[in-house]
Amino acid sequence: MRPGKRGDLLVHEDEPFNAEPPAAALAAAAITPADAFYVRSHGPVPTIDPSRFRLRVDGLVERPLELTLDALRQGRFAVREVVATLACAGNRRAGLAAVRPVPGELVWGSGAVSTARWRGVALADVLAAAGVRGGAAHVGFAAPDESAEADPPQPFGGSIPLAKALGPEVLLAWELNGAPLAPDHGAPLRVLVPGYVGARSVKWLERVEVRAEPWDGYFQRTAYRLLRPEEEPGPDVGMALGELALNADILAPADGERVAAGRVDVRGYAIAGGARAVARVDVSADGGRTWLAAALGDDLGPWAWRPWRLALELAPGEHELVVRAWDSAAATQPEHAAPLWNPKGYVNTCWPRVRVRAA
């Protein structure tokens, strides 16, 4: 990782562009500024002329549609706003790579996660206009960005279950924090699937396909799957990722930071997967032996992370800060990274640990 080319972003790759904000930028605000929002791309940014853009809606529908941006934005569909967190399935991969290398994957730190206020129309309303036919069970999303990572090379795409697609939170979105989507974030239109791994929020969306089966492209059948340690990636090997798993992180202080002894403000976020809520966050200053209650920040709605903070009294010396979250089902996070290691380095949900020296 080297210092960012764009604003504060730490750039993993220039082409395709992949970059994450430093933890401090995420800690600074519950809503991530657009220029600090992480970027995950699998191919070059496509050039799309908004005036010629058409979204196709087809597959198992009664009435295939071709919609201009104006038809979406100023047409018969109610415009909605949703505050939602996107998180890459590979967020916190560095913690797994420290157990054992994860060849061929970007080593994301704490920052492949960001939260924004999105504006668009409900996918459900567009599907209702098209008329979903019997036998439909999944909704696929296709983009034009040709990815050389795929085998064979192909555009990015993916699908979600129809039941999820009909939720009012799933948007065809053209705005992030009140401004039109930047090219890196999918201009002119992307799908937003709150509560799911970021890979399903397909950027540069050009086609919505109602399907009987899940997406059969590389990025769902082969990539973005949780494998057993001994498995080799291949079509339908392992489990496809979908809903996010419960996770949390410490965003401040930073690992290795020297802080003044005394009161130290510890901050971070927690996020519950799918339709669950964050119910409780615990912070430990002794490596997880005893825990204190963190204060939960403002509730930004069911699809956003929950910021938390805690003022800790730290005596001079080394301290290991640890966090864990509990969701509304009283499920909590696993402790260690090693049992979670998997060949693609996904879903690192173990307790985050930060070592600080108070002086």
Q: φ, ψ for residue 253 (rounded to 5)?
A: -70, 170
d(CA 60, CA 152): 26
| Bridge partners, 176 (sequence order) | 118, 179
Q: φ, ψ for residue 259 (rounded to 5)?
A: -125, 160
DSSP string, 49-63: -TTT--EEEEESBSS
Name which of 133 and 228 has its Cβ closer to a copy of itself: 228
| Bridge partners, 161 (sequence order) | 138
Q: Closest approach of Cβ 255 to a copy of itself, in Å?
A: 21
Q: Closest approach of Cβ 79 to a copy of itself, in Å?
A: 25
Q: What dihedral do alpha carbons 119, 12, 196, 140 form, nearest 10°?
A: 80
Q: Closest approach of Cβ 141 to a copy of itself, in Å?
A: 20
- Give the largest Cα separation in the chain, rounded: 69
Q: φ, ψ for residue 327 (rounded to 5)?
A: -100, 180
Using CB atoms within 10 Å of the CB of residue 358, give its burial: 0 to 12 exposed, 13 to 18 middle, 19+ buried.
buried
Give the tokens for residue 30.
């519950």
Name which of 1 and 296 has its Cβ closer to a copy of itself: 296
Name which of 9 and 279 has its Cβ closer to a copy of itself: 279
d(CA 245, CA 91): 12
The answer to whether the bond into 188 is cis (omega within 30° of 0) is yes
What's the half-sphere exposure (Cβ side, CA atoms, 13 Å) at 200?
A: 27
Name which of 105 and 243 has its Cβ closer to a copy of itself: 243
Name which of 181 and 294 has its Cβ closer to a copy of itself: 294
Name which of 207 and 280 has its Cβ closer to a copy of itself: 280
Q: Closest approach of Cβ 153 to a copy of itself, in Å?
A: 27
Residue type, 212: A
Name which of 82 and 245 has its Cβ closer to a copy of itself: 245
Give the tokens for residue 36.
């600090």
Q: Closest approach of Cβ 272 to a copy of itself, in Å?
A: 9
Q: Closest approach of Cβ 161 to a copy of itself, in Å?
A: 10
Name which of 183 and 288 has its Cβ closer to a copy of itself: 288
Q: Where are the alpha helices (DSSP H) in 55-111?
A: 69-73, 93-97
- Contact residues for a copy of itself, defined by CB under 8 A: 226, 228-229, 239, 241-246, 273-276, 279-280, 282, 288, 291, 293, 324, 326, 328-336, 339-340, 346-347, 349
d(CA 9, CA 111): 9
